[in-house]
Each structure stands twice: as structure tokens, then as C-alpha cells.
Amino acid sequence: MAWAGAWPRPPSVILISAIGGRIIPAFTRNWLVKRGATALPPANPGLVDKLALASLHSGLLAWAFLANTGGAGGMAAGGLLLAASALNLARLARWRGWTTLAEPLLTILHVGYLWVVAGAALLGGTLLTSAVPPAAAIHALTAGSIGTMILAVMSRASLGHTGRALTADRVTVWVYLMVNGAALSRIVASIMGGLSLGLLALSAVLWIAAFALFAGRYTPYWCRPRVAG
């Protein structure tokens, strides 16, 4: 049964979907308002948000319990996860992430949520066809979504709570690129199977480098007094 090994992942992704749905459109909206934009993310959740969350949460829980059972239950869970992926993509589009490309500190939040969309689609695919390896879906949700969101939120919180400007410098951008490169390399390695040793090594190096570089960049901020003003 998949429950024991799978259980830690659904709650983490559920938390990202719930909290992300609050902070990503809010931060994006505030940033766009300051720049005089008129096309803004919705201020309040709508029907799309409710359907996206309901399908994703129920699909993840169904996967945790039914992944190894096969039959109609597994097929239904797979279909539900594909629907959840489509609905969450529609939800993400409403937040207008493409308008934030000038500020990577914001863009990375949208990228982190996009990994939820990709992970849900891959996870649904694992239940419907043997062509999608389960490891690809797991790494999209963990290394991709969870890893990206951890660094995205920590960098933003570190800047904000130490009184610094909410903008990503070049070092932070490299952190974002490396954690996403690590996730992508790991997913491709899962798909390639026995030809993947080089990509596995690349993924490990990028993952370690991303968190090491983050620590090196932000530890001085944490150890110094808050910037006045």
C-alpha cells in the first residue's frame, strides 16, 4: 500500500496550494498597484479557486490511499488529478504571473505553484499509464514545488523582516535557477531510467549549491541588526 511512504507529501502540497493561493495573488496585486497597473489578480478567491483546491486535495488524498490498488479507484484518482492540474493552471493564470518577470522575487512564487500544476498532471498520469514513472511526479512535487517554494518564501521573508528592499539580487536569482534546474534534471533522470546517472549527479550538485548559496547570501542578513526604515 502506498499510504505509508506517500503520506508526508500530500499535506505539504496541500499547504502550498492553500497558503500560495493567499500570498501569491496578494503580493502580485500589491506590486502591480504600485506600478500603476490596471489589470490585476482578483482580490478574492472565486469559483475556480474553490474547484482547484477541492479537486487537488481530494486527488492527492485519493492517490495516497489508492496508488497501489489499481482498477477503477486508481483510474478515477488519476482522472481527478488531471482535472486538478487543469483547474490549478487556470487558477494560476488568474494571478497574472507573466506580468512579474521584472521582479524574480515575485516570479519565483508563480514558478513554484506551476510545479504543483505539473506534479498533479504527472501524478495523475502515473495512475493512468505506465509511460509516466512515479518518480517523475514525486520529484515535480517535492524538488520542484516544495523546494522552490521553500527558497522563494525564505528569501522574501528574510528581506522583508530585516528591512531590506523586496527585490531579488543576482545571487538570489541564481539560487532560484539552480533549485529549478535540480528539479528538472531529477525529473528527466526519472524518465530516462538507466541512462540517468549524469543527470542524477547534476541534480544533486545543483540542489546542494542552491541551498548553500542561499545560506551564504542570507546568513549575514539574519546575524545583523534590522536595517532602519
Q: What is the mean pLDDT for each group of 10 consecutive residues in the chain (229 residues)?
A: 46 92 96 92 92 96 76 86 97 96 97 97 92 92 95 97 95 98 95 81 96 97 86
**What pLDDT is recorded for position 130?**
86
pTM over the 0.95 mark = no
* Angle CA 2–6–8, to nearest 5: 150
Contact 163, 226 (CB under 8 A): yes
**What pLDDT is recorded for position 108?**
98
Helix (H, G, I), strand (E, B) or coil at 102: coil
**What pLDDT is recorded for position 94?**
96
Question: DSSP states of 14-42 as a string?
Answer: HHHHHHHHHHHHHHHHHHHHHTT-SS---
**What pLDDT is recorded for position 195?**
66
CA atoms within 13 A on the CB side of 157: 7
**What pLDDT is recorded for position 194?**
63
